[in-house]
Structure 1
Amino acid sequence: MSIQAYQNNSVETASPGELTLMLYNGCIKFIKLARTSMENNEIEKKNTNIQKAQNIIQELMVTMNQEYAISKQIMPLYDYMYHRLIEANTKNDVAILDEVQGLTEEFRDTWKQVILKTRQQQHGKGALAK
């Protein structure tokens, strides 16, 4: 199986929670690439990678389930992150990229815990112990 086929299969068989986790990881990856491009003065690459990170944050915003009260707390943070990426892009500011990466990593790490707790509740307490 090719890497592309494996990646496509991973996305197609992932739960909504796992897809969200993939989005966070993708956003972090693109922010890191943008940072490297910024440091190497590769303006076009920097711009492309920041835009990819922005697209992921937009996707997270669009797909958020608004029925949960926590959504009203998360949405302004996503909006803040999105606008900080614009600022990082226009100002070539690595510190802003680091800030948004840190926020994204916090979301990702929290989301991982949510997935683990959900699996434990669905499959019994000891099912995920490794």
Structure 2
Amino acid sequence: MTNPSQAMRQRYLADSVATASPAKLLLMLFDRLIMDLSRGEQALLADDRPEANLQLKHAGDIVTELHVTLKPDVWEGAKDLASLYAFVETELVNANVQGDAAKVAAIRGLMEPLRDTWREAALAVAAAEG
């Protein structure tokens, strides 16, 4: 049985996602991706393979979602971004299978600047609209 505070938190998160703008949703995905990568890396360093697997598989699911929702006909940079996402998807599987925390850290090192760039773009768009 779910406790009341957990149920309220889940409802709040569901409402937040349902009402978020596309830019906010993208940032939420990237923030969760970075968190999953950090947790996966820490789990590997602690030799907790089940937890690492859980976190890295979720990170992979996020990257796959980012990849499949790209619209190459709308933005010329989408092809390059798709290539990066495909690379990261493969590297995440390899890092998970090999138990390679350094590889996870390298992936995080690729994705954090991308998240930060999307955040800056979202802020610029919001400032221009507001």
Fold shared per TM-score above 0.5:
yes
CA distance in 1, matches of 2:124, 2:91: 31
Q: How does 1:1-16 map to 2 (within 5 A)?
A: 2-16=8-22
CA distance in 2, matches of 1:52, 1:22: 14
Does 1:69 find its partner at 2:67?
no
How many corresponding residue pairs? 123
Partner residue of 2:114 out of 107, 117, 120:
107
How far apart are residue 4 of structure 1 and its match?
Answer: 1.7
CA distance in 2, matches of 1:116, 1:48: 32
How far apart are residue 20 of structure 1 and its match?
Answer: 0.7
CA distance in 2, matches of 1:25, 1:65: 21
Mark the runs of 5 or more structure 1 residues left unpaired by the alignment: 124-130
Q: CA RMSD in A?
A: 1.2
Identical aligned pairs, as a percentage?
A: 29
Q: Which amino acid aligns with 2:76?
A: A
Does 1:122 find its partner at 2:114?
no
Mark the runs of 5 or more structure 2 residues left unpaired by the alignment: none
Structure 1 segments (4+ residues) deviating >6 Å: none
**TM-score, normalization: structure 2?**
0.89
